[in-house]
Structure 1
């Protein structure tokens, strides 16, 4: 019997990118389908998070993500531009956000076309791994979308004029994440049990094996 797991994902989450190769390996090696469910990053869902959090946390985060990347052997850089516009000195989030809504809509559309994993892989590798500067300009996003087997112009045509439906889909994903018992990303949810963080992938695999998941032949 094939198994399914939901992957709640943000286009601004470095840890989402850092787990990507292992998510791909899960789906490649096991009789498993990963359902990509994009959500807005915490900076958009809870704008006061960064201004309220202990000031040591952002510094620890920056140290940790580069350390994790080195440990697992993947390239890593902070994206330019950042998918979320943020004043790093004041840790405030402007209401005007030129990137994150577009990206999350595209993630929803890619998932609806059965190419969610391919899209988040191609995009996250471009901004976090390859460190493409100015990824929002020129053909960078178009090319990454093509590597996922999709057409950017066709996807954006489907989205245009239907933004409310995409907002509703994102809200549905965010509500499902909270209903499963968490709020952060990346989170795998298997049978309503959440496994938060790229450091809980092996534990989620263990649980799915308990449920009878088999390796692909």
Structure 2
């Protein structure tokens, strides 16, 4: 039976986007399965994480994310629109959030259909890779199709999202219990590996446990 790896991941996190190619490669190289467990961004889970008094956090991400993407050879541009509606001067979060809940519920549905990490990789590359107005036209439909999924069927499944909302809450609780709070966090054998730059540590641990495929 393949080893189970839980991946806690957010559709607003640029580092979650950067982790997806490595996550896909992981399941090719090791006898392991990734359980994709989307959570809401820290901007919603912990609204005071980004604040005017602590602008260095947001400023650092804006510096570090592009260079990390360049190092990994991945396209990058800050999303337009941003999956979270938030004033980046005051960091005030809008009450109306038309994007992030839909994306997160679709992520839950994609995992239920056995294509969670594939959907995350395709959609996040579209959002963070430079597609302007990614929420319009057939961009999301095409991204879902590239992951082997039918967006219309998924949208129908989340029309009443109560069950998906409950699963997101469960994911967030499990992330907190894992020993970390941020994304992306991989959890293997109760051991958390936080950050795209810890994939090499996870690979090393899987090799220690003899899980590399021949």
What TM-score comes out, normalization by structure 2 length? 0.96
After TM superposition, the structure 1 = structure 2 runs for residues 133-172 of structure 1, keeping only pairs within 5 Å, are: 133-161=132-160, 163-172=161-170
Shift, 1:158, TM fit: 1.1
Contact 2:105 2:158 in 1 (8 A): yes
SS in 2 for 1:119: helix
Match of 1:202 among 200, 203, 207: 200
Looking at structure 1, the residues matched to 14 and 148 of structure 2 have their Cα atoms a distance apart, in angstroms, of 23
Contact 2:52 2:90 in 1 (8 A): no
What count of residue pairs does the alignment treat as equivalent? 214
Match of 1:177 in 2: 175
Q: Which moved more, 1:203-212 or 1:182-191?
A: 203-212
After TM superposition, the structure 1 = structure 2 runs for residues 26-41 of structure 1, keeping only pairs within 5 Å, are: 26-41=26-41
Match of 1:48 in 2: 48
After TM superposition, the structure 1 = structure 2 runs for residues 32-181 of structure 1, keeping only pairs within 5 Å, are: 32-51=32-51, 54-129=54-129, 131-161=130-160, 163-181=161-179
Contact 2:52 2:89 in 1 (8 A): no
Shift, 1:60, TM fit: 1.2
Looking at structure 2, the residues matched to 67 and 53 of structure 1 have their Cα atoms a distance apart, in angstroms, of 25
Match of 2:185 among 181, 184, 187: 187
Shift, 1:205, TM fit: 1.4
Looking at structure 1, the residues matched to 109 and 2 of structure 2 have their Cα atoms a distance apart, in angstroms, of 24
Q: CA RMSD in A?
A: 1.2
Contact 2:52 2:91 in 1 (8 A): no
Tell whether 2:5 aligns with 1:23.
Answer: no
SS in 2 for 1:79: coil
Shift, 1:92, TM fit: 1.3
Contact 1:180 1:189 in 2 (8 A): yes
What TM-score comes out, normalization by structure 1 length? 0.95
